[in-house]
Amino acid sequence: MDVILPDQLPGFLSEKERAHDATTTVAVPGGIARFSQQLRALSSLNARLICMEADEPVYGEMVAGVGRVLNTDVCALFLRAPTAPQLILEGITGAEMPAEHRVVGLDEYRRPAVQAYQEEYVVHVPDTSEAHGAEPLLHGFRSLLALPIIGREGPVGTFQFGRREAGGFANEEIDLASMLVDQMAYQLENLRLVRQLSTSRDAVIHGMARLAESRGGDIGGHLDRMCAYSQLLARRLQNQPGFIGIVTDEYITTLVRAAALHDIGKVGISDRILLKPASLTEDEFSVMKTHARLGAEILEDLMVTHGSFPMLEMGVEVANYHHERWDGTGYPNGIAGEDIPLSARIVAIADVYDALTSKRVYKEAWSQEDTLAQVAGLAGSHFDPYLARLFVLESDELTAIRNRFPD
């Protein structure tokens, strides 16, 4: 595609041009009442973004909030792809973006969003019917406004706004949009840094979990399978009566990360017991059982020292309670039924299933049929009966996970 320069696109107004073009100015609706609404919407958006966790779906909240402040018919957020010269749609409100427009190449200069990103200025199209050569991402919107999001190291994406009627955006509205986008750039940069720190923190904690597994001789795909089995069961629970609003997307994301911490306490068990190729004596088994409480204490100490966050909080639950049994005969606390945290009840099934279907020095792997029959047989005694019944229905998915993460 030939490179199209901004001044070659009729109907496009750059930031410099709009200051001198009176035809783009329209009345700002609502006066003081409108300004008051915008101020309240902006205050609400800022408060929400400040309070959000790094794992929450912040892009959708950001797009919805910015759209409310500006009172636009459509608002879309595109961010630069990390490994390709593309802009990727991360959030949109007011319209459904066609699948073919969710990823935009940075060489598509006829797109206002690409123009804004590449040239780092505001692109205003007062009337798309007169912007010959322009290719808006969404049809049915006569006025378009695209603004670059400038981060610490240059552009990171664009916001695009649209209205169904022609006439464009008033200069005052464009100024407000520019201020908002600058503010969102700051929020996105903070989010990037927080997620970067979160990723590093999680990597260290998961490294500890893998160290615990490797000490027990399990250096294959056990942790990956455990997390995937737990995710599968939690997904099946998500829309079941009694779990709606409890097993949310955020809950599942946290569970997948926390499940890997279930046996982290094994770092404190001696090799003599942990690596013993034969059955443990009663005294040795008593020592082995301490890994549950020890794992919880390790994670609790991390929270005291470095602060609490969802993965560690749920990790404490999983580590401490994943050997408890529905009938109260488990360890280390002997609690029963729904007194056992849901996260631990889910991980308990995943842990036993993986142990039975895996080959170890002291046993052969069980067949899928025998393992699922065992899980079903332990429903109501070892396992939460409702969870166990859902789990055994997922034979094909469980097999696919095992094939994806072999030992």
- Can you list the domains of the chain with their CATH numbers? 6-193 (3.30.450.40), 216-404 (1.10.3210.10)
291 exposure class (CB count in 10 Å sphere: 0-12, 13-18, 19+): buried
Strand order in the sheet with 86-93: 103-105, 86-93, 74-80, 154-163, 143-151, 123-125
CA 215 to CA 213: how far, in whole Å?
A: 5
CA 256 to CA 147: how far, in whole Å?
A: 37
What's the token pair of residue 254?
């946290």
Please give the pLDDT value at position 259: 93
Please give the pLDDT value at position 235: 96
Please give the pLDDT value at position 318: 96
Residue 338 near residue 246, CB atoms below 8 Å? no
φ/ψ of residue 216, rounded to 5: -90, 5
pTM above 0.85, yes or no: no
Please give the pLDDT value at position 217: 57
The DSSP line for 174-196 is HHHHHHHHHHHHHHHHHHHHHHH
CA 219 to CA 227: how far, in whole Å?
A: 15
Spans of the chain below 70 pLDDT:
1-57, 132-134, 136-137, 190-204, 208, 210-220
